[in-house]
Amino acid sequence: MNTTWEIVKLDRFFVIKKGQTITKKDSNPGIYPVILGGREPAYYIDKYNHTGKAIVVSRSGASAGYVSFWNEPIFVTDGFLIEPKDDVNYEFVYYLLKLKQSQLLGSQRGAAIPHVTPNLLYNVQAFFPPLPTQKQIASILSAYDNLIENNNKRIKILEQMAENLYKEWFVRFRFPGHETTRFVPSNMGKIPSTFTLAKMQDVFEYYIGGGWGEDEYSSDFPVEAKVIRGADFPFVERGDLGTCPNRFHKESNYKARKLEPGDIILEVSGGTAEQPVGRTILVSQQMLDRFNGQVICASFCKLVRLKKEKISPVYFYYWMQFLYETRIIDRFQLQSTGIINFKFEYFLKKGDVMLPPSEIMKKFEDLVSPIHAQIEKLAMETENLIKQRDLLLPRLMSGKLAV
């Protein structure tokens, strides 16, 4: 620890400004993100109230206390805009607040609507290094974030390449051999005569819903109990792969929900108007390797296993992406008390999937799979960069690691 650094309250680093009230119905769609208080932009409108660098702390809601950094025109509404003082480095303040992220999230007040206050932020304590040291620390951490951002941009480009190929072949129907193919009417419009329509229940081999009951998970099972020994298992929730800290999964239930390459994870519960349910994940071997193969389907999702002799999992994944993007999937959703859920049984019986000939699906899979492998490789690199940055962050901010 650097004993020459003074310990001060955060009001020594910055001042806080409140965002401007706005509602979606009173604004016009546009390209500028509205920072409402969550971890992602709530929506996009045609105006902004801040440009250039911006540090925003979410003020209320489940993400109250979450810190984000922007360097583009944005509209800050239900959040605090952090303005560093003249003798403080801008990026250093952002990393300082990220260091205090858990403390800020854990200090939420209010039962109905969690929130944080300016006084709460101001009273948090931290080391205050000299300005040149602040700049050096920010430079080191920014180098990691720049690499992470570049990887994320490359991933988006690769994802777009695969999506464009899908649309070229199976939306515009310019697949290999399309020149000699005739089209016939169907309940989804005209499709190539060599394609067929099937119900979801005819291509699903197996499916199971994720659970989150006390009979399924526990944080205090003894090692001798029926658990998969030795680790907390990653799980799938709300369409994302993540980790499930301090929880073990019963062995019998674990086996039923354990993911395999080619499985599809379908998000079926907990959606909102801005983020409806229906997102999907295609499980790959690379993805499982990141978690030593121990991944289960948990709450808010369904594990779907396909009859692979009928349909390619890669093709099915993009079919589901197409249904989500075009909002066709909305007919299988049900809103109750503000929460959007997925009518899975109705989807099984009434949901259609267009099946190209097997050789066309195979060609598509052969072209897209290497793209997915590149995406997985970049995702793994990004995870490692994040881990390295997060290990450095507290050491640099405390002066334990000299710069």
DSSP states along 158-207? HHHHHHHHHHHHHTS---TTGGG--EE--BTB-EETT-EEEEHHHHEEEE
- Does 116 fall in a domain? yes
Tell me what pLDDT residue 229 has.
35
Query: Could you give the CA distance from residue 176 to residue 48 in angstroms, rounded to a whole number?
Result: 46
- Does 134 fall in a domain? no
Phi-psi region at 53: left, alpha or beta (left = phi > 0; alpha = psi -120 to 50): beta
Candidate from 58-72, 242-256, 338-352, 359-373 with smallest mean pLDDT: 242-256
CATH for 347: 3.90.220.20
What whole-number percentage of the chain has pLDDT above 90?
Answer: 56
Both 182 and 82 in a single domain?
no
The stretch 66-87 carries a mean pLDDT of 92
The stretch 258-267 carries a mean pLDDT of 89
Tell me what pLDDT residue 392 has.
96
Residue 220 tokens read as: 């205090």
List the one residue out of 116, 81, 133, 145 whose CA is nearest residue 396: 133
Candidate from 141-145, 281-285, 289-293 with smallest mean pLDDT: 289-293
Backbone angles phi, psi at 50, to 5 degrees: -155, 140
The stretch 85-96 carries a mean pLDDT of 95
Tell me what pLDDT residue 292 has.
72
What whole-number percentage of the chain has pLDDT above 70?
Answer: 86
Tell me what pLDDT residue 194 has.
95
Both 186 and 300 in a single domain?
yes
Tell me what pLDDT residue 253 has.
66
Whether the pLDDT of residue 99 is over 60: the answer is yes
Both 67 and 167 in a single domain?
no
Which pLDDT band holds residue 219 (cuts at 50, 70, 90)?
Answer: very low
Both 220 and 353 in a single domain?
yes
β-sheet bridge partners, residue 43: 34
Which pLDDT band holds residue 78 (cuts at 50, 70, 90)?
Answer: confident
Both 73 and 169 in a single domain?
no
Q: Can you point out the beta strands (E) in 27-180? A: 29-35, 43-45, 53-58, 67-71, 75-76, 79-84, 125-128
Both 121 and 208 in a single domain?
no
Measured in whole angstroms, the distance separating CA 110 from the mean position of its chain's CA atoms is: 26
Q: Do the bridges between strand 235-237 and strand 296-297 make them parallel or antiparallel, or are there none, so unpaired?
A: parallel
Both 222 and 361 in a single domain?
yes
3-state secondary structure of 101: helix
The stretch 39-48 carries a mean pLDDT of 86
- Does 401 fall in a domain? no
- Does 393 fall in a domain? no
Both 170 and 243 in a single domain?
yes
Tell me what pLDDT residue 317 has.
95
| pLDDT single digits (tens) 141-198 | 999 999 999 999 999 999 999 999 999 999 999 999 999 999 999 988 899 999 999 9
Domain that holds residue 355: 152-381
- Does 146 fall in a domain? no
Tell me what pLDDT residue 278 has.
86
Residue 344 tokens read as: 């899975």
Tell me what pLDDT residue 247 has.
54
Q: Considering the chain, what is the average pLDDT of its residues?
A: 86
| pLDDT single digits (tens) 112-134 | 788 899 999 999 999 999 999 99
Measured in whole angstroms, the distance separating CA 24 from the mean position of its chain's CA atoms is: 23
Please give the residue that has the higher pLDDT: either 217 or 97: 97
The stretch 217-233 carries a mean pLDDT of 40
Both 253 and 347 in a single domain?
yes
Both 119 and 176 in a single domain?
no
Tell me what pLDDT residue 157 has.
95
Whether the pLDDT of residue 1 is over 90: the answer is no
Whether the pLDDT of residue 269 is over 50: the answer is yes
List the one residue out of 147, 152, 17 whose CA is nearest residue 85: 17
Count of domains forming the chain = 2
Both 315 and 168 in a single domain?
yes
- Does 318 fall in a domain? yes
pTM metric for this prediction: 0.82
Whether the pLDDT of residue 334 is over 60: the answer is yes
